[in-house]
């Protein structure tokens, strides 16, 4: 039976890459990613190649059934250059987690955005809604905006087999969050990107865009959007040691610049020290501290210093592949 394969990849735009995709029809497909062929695209239209030598290669790395199309799959791809080497825009290729020892739970925040008003859903065309307070985890038409889209997205993710762990309305009007967890850094990144893709595509149906920017309302008194990265490896999961936890946290201190470089564009606008963030200029960690760069969850302390850490600095527009890669590298550098 003819099957629709939606090959999805990240373009070469800087500082923030966007999703691109195109459909390939095949006669049949087993559902297994290793049975998929590489494909190519015009890299000169995506800032990934010069016009004179424009072919880039799509290498399928992750596939799930497409919940919105009949006889169809979504196919997340890495981009290779014309020689078959990872393209410079390909962050996934630099994740050093071949044994899937690293588990990641990303909390993806975003705004549902009305293209007509250029404001979040729930914002009147000419001004602002009431101040923050009633919107977080709210119910009711005065406070929760866009639930139909959010619910459809949740169902689509679950039907595709993505490991969504929860959703909630966030602190600003029109702002929402979903959480995805996976054992294996590459898979966690794949799942976040496919979930982002589904949200964008569902939004099309409603004429609603997704604003991934970390501070779309500027320096007004509205929260920005993050993508907290919760992470663990077997060391952290079985540490039984406050010293080991602190040694991992300390490994992040000299790596601040390297981390911030991939934690999403314009993060200086979001990491101000207000709105449950730490200043971009500081590095701190602490138990249960939502004003720290890295939070040690109470869970870890209650489990005799075993469990996971939460890096609160990555923002909503960050590439989860690059975030995971730098976290893994930094954890491995810890002096234990
Ligand atoms: P909060 O909003 O309080 O920061 P959430 O419940 O939104 O917390 O997110 C917590 C995240 O931590 C979830 O995505 C969960 O999957 C993740 N998590 C839990 N245990 C681990 C672990 N051992 N390793 C990595 N991530 C974990
Ligand atoms: Mn959360
Ligand atoms: Mn949140
Ligand atoms: Mn969090």
Residue 138, strand partner residues: none
Q: Nearest residue CA, atom 20 of ligand 1?
A: 308
Q: Is residue 96 part of a domain?
A: no
The number of the ligand 1 atom at minimal distance from the alpha carbon of 105 is 14
Query: Tokens standing for 151?
Result: 């619910």
Query: At which of 39, 59, 90 does a domain end?
Result: 90
Same domain, residue pair 259 and 326: yes
Same domain, residue pair 77 and 183: no
What is d(CA 58, CA 37) in angstroms, rounded to the nearest whole number? 9
| 106, 107, 185, 230, best to mutate for ligand 1 pocket (most atoms within 8 Å of CB) | 230
Number of folded domains that form the chain: 2
The pLDDT value recorded for residue 126 is 85
What is d(CA 225, CA 208) in angstroms, rounded to the nearest whole number? 18
Do 320 and 264 form a contact (C-beta atoms < 8 A)? Answer: no
Closest CA to 43 of 62, 65, 58: 58
Same domain, residue pair 68 and 148: no
What is d(CA 146, CA 99) in angstroms, rounded to the nearest whole number? 39
Q: From the CA of 300, how far away is ligand 1's center (Å)?
A: 11
Q: Nearest residue CA, atom 13 of ligand 1?
A: 105
Q: Which residues lie with the beta carbon below 6 Å from any ligand 1 atom?
A: 103-105, 107, 165, 179, 181, 228, 230-232, 237, 307-308, 310
Query: Tokens standing for 192?
Result: 């976040």
Q: With H, G, I as helix, E, B as strand and everything else as coil, classify residue 299.
A: helix
Q: Is residue 98 part of a domain?
A: no
Residue 178, CA atoms < 13 Å, CB-side half-sphere: 27
The length of the chain, given as a count of residues? 336
* Ligand that lies nearest to the alpha carbon of residue 238, given by its number in the listed order: 1
**Cis peptide leading into residue 15 (ω within 30°):** yes
Same domain, residue pair 51 and 74: yes
Same domain, residue pair 223 and 132: yes
The number of the ligand 1 atom at minimal distance from the alpha carbon of 236 is 23
Judge if pTM exceeds 0.75.
yes
Same domain, residue pair 74 and 117: no
Q: Around Cβ 330, how many Cβ atoms within 10 Å?
A: 19
Mean pLDDT by 10 residues, the chain (336 residues): 97 98 98 98 95 91 98 98 96 97 98 96 93 98 98 98 98 98 98 99 98 94 96 98 98 97 98 91 94 97 98 98 98 96
């Amino acid at each position: 039976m003819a099957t629709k394969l939606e090959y999805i990849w990240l373009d070469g735009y800087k500082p923030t890459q966007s999703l691109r995709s195109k459909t390939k029809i095949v006669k049949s497909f087993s559902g297994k990613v290793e049975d998929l062929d590489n494909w190519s695209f015009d890299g000169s239209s995506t800032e990934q190649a010069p016009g004179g030598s424009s072919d880039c290669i799509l290498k399928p790395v992750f596939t799930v059934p497409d919940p919105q199309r009949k006889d169809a799959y979504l196919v997340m791809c890495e981009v290779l250059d014309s020689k078959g080497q990872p393209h410079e825009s390909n962050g996934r290729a630099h994740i050093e987690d071949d044994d899937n020892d690293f588990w990641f739970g990303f909390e993806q925040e975003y705004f549902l955005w009305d293209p007509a008003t250029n404001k979040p859903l729930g914002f009147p065309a000419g001004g602002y809604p009431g101040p923050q307070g009633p919107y977080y985890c709210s119910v009711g038409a005065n406070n929760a905006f866009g639930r139909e889209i959010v619910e459809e997205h949740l169902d689509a993710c679950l039907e595709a087999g993505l490991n969504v762990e929860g959703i909630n309305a966030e602190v600003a009007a029109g702002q929402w969050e979903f959480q995805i967890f996976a054992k294996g850094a590459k898979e966690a990144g794949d799942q976040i990107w496919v979930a982002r893709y589904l949200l964008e595509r569902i939004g099309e149906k409603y004429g609603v865009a997704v604003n991934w920017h970390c501070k779309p309302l500027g320096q007004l008194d509205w929260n920005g959007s993050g993508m907290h990265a919760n992470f663990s490896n077997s060391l952290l999961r079985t540490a039984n040691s406050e010293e080991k936890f602190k040694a991992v946290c300390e490994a992040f201190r000299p790596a601040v610049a390297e981390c911030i470089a991939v934690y999403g564009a314009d993060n200086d606008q979001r990491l101000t020290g207000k709105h449950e963030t730490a200043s971009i200029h500081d590095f701190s960690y602490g138990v249960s501290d939502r004003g720290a760069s890295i939070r040690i969850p109470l869970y870890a302390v209650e489990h005799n210093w075993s469990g996971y850490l939460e890096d609160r600095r990555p923002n909503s527009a960050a590439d989860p592949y690059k975030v995971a890669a730098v976290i893994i590298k930094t954890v491995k550098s810890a002096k234990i």
